[in-house]
Structure 1
Amino acid sequence: MSDPRVPGEGSVIELPCGETVRFGDLDLGMREYQCDCGDAHAVVMDVHPPERFLPDFLVEVLREAIDTTSEEMREFGTPHLMGIVLEEFPEAVVAEDASEDADVGYALVWVADFDARRLHEVVVELVIELMEHAVSHGEDEGALREFEGMMHEFDVSAFVDQYRDERDLDAEDPYA
């Protein structure tokens, strides 16, 4: 968790690798942090839209299908996606509340032990699992078989490559 430092230095995050980084060193356009440990860590902030990982139409479907109970986050978004990731990989992702640091421009930040591309794959894989779970609770066995058949043919890695190319995630787009 973050520890206060000398006044003016800002709060720090202890990364999954054991290194630390100041909130102020993570800017809104950052998707990866090149760590002193030698690895790149995925960085996600609450201000990044879920379309960073998923197509617009799917985000809309998820928003319509998933009821959120939080007064602060009334519609499905990036914090919910990262909550799913954090639940599945609690040792590989750190989440920090930066809301007390008005200089950074974000309230929540997540830093993963894996890079941004791998995080993208993880998000897609977990959303597919969530969708499969939802379909399995439906009354239409045919829909479940059809969904499972489509998912056997779905290549997560190829989807992520194509999506990242289409979104140009190597460009300097802070919300990509």
Structure 2
Amino acid sequence: MTSPRVPGAGDRFELPCGESVGLSTLDMGMREFDCDCGDTHAVVMDVHPPGRFLPEFLVDVLRETVETTDEADQLGTVHLMGIVLEEFPDAVLAKDVEDDGDIGCGLVWVTDFDSRRLHEIVVELVVELMEHAVSHADDEAAIDAFETEMAEFDVGEFVETYRHQRDFEGEYDSAA
């Protein structure tokens, strides 16, 4: 597990747990860190690809079907974390760090939960989004087929398998 590089360095911001972290302690390879509060917090940056949470084929499907309402051309990590932030406003801190050249990203999110739990939450919320979209289909057979598949879908098992297939322990994860 990655630990912050220089404890207490740089501009600080308050975490959802009440502790604070120095911006310069975060780097693009971090997925989580052990906090002084005793918990492990997930770290996500806008430069992290959505493939961190979802298989590339699913990201491609979502990008083809989900229209974004911001300046982004396609669905990305910013949108996934926006959904998480909307669902868990008190458990996610979003920080604009675009002006901090040490970090290398524009937005950073730190959550009350660790990276594995965040991964599960992202998958759960995407499944809910897909269920909502399918419920508006005019094809009852497609709706029934989707509902049958989702009844058998185990988020925890999916996340465990997906994380096992990718190297989430090293600094750089890669597709399996």
The residue correspondences of 1:88-127 to structure 2 (distance < 5 A) are 88-127=87-126
- After the TM superposition, which residues 47-86 of structure 1 pair with which residues of structure 2 at under 5 Å, given as runs? 47-71=47-71, 73-86=72-85
Alignment check: 8 A CA contact 2:167 2:174 kept: no
Deviations 1:152-173, CA, capped at 9 Å, x for gaps: 1001101000000001211221
TM-score of the two chains, using structure 2 as the length reference: 0.91
Report the residue type matching 1:104 in the other structure: I
Structure 1 residue 170 corresponds to structure 2 residue 169: yes
Q: TM-score, normalization: structure 1?
A: 0.91
Question: Which consecutive residues of structure 2, in runs of 5 or more, have no partner in the other structure?
Answer: 1-8
Corresponding residue of 1:87: 86
The number of residues matched between the two structures is 167
* Higher relative contact order, structure no. (Cα contacts within 8 Å, ≥ 6 residues apart): 1
CA drift at 1:69: 2.3
Superposed structure 1 runs of 4+ greater than 2 Å apart: none
1:32-72 deviation digits (Å, cap 9, x = unpaired): 0210001100000000000000000000000000111222x
CA offsets per residue over residues 113-139 of structure 1, 9 Å max, x none? 000000000000000000000000111
* Separation in structure 2 between the aligned mates of residue 172 and residue 101 of structure 1, nearest angstrom: 22
Matched, 1:16 2:16: yes
The amino acid that maps onto 1:55 is P
AA matched with 1:65: T
Q: CA RMSD in A?
A: 1.3
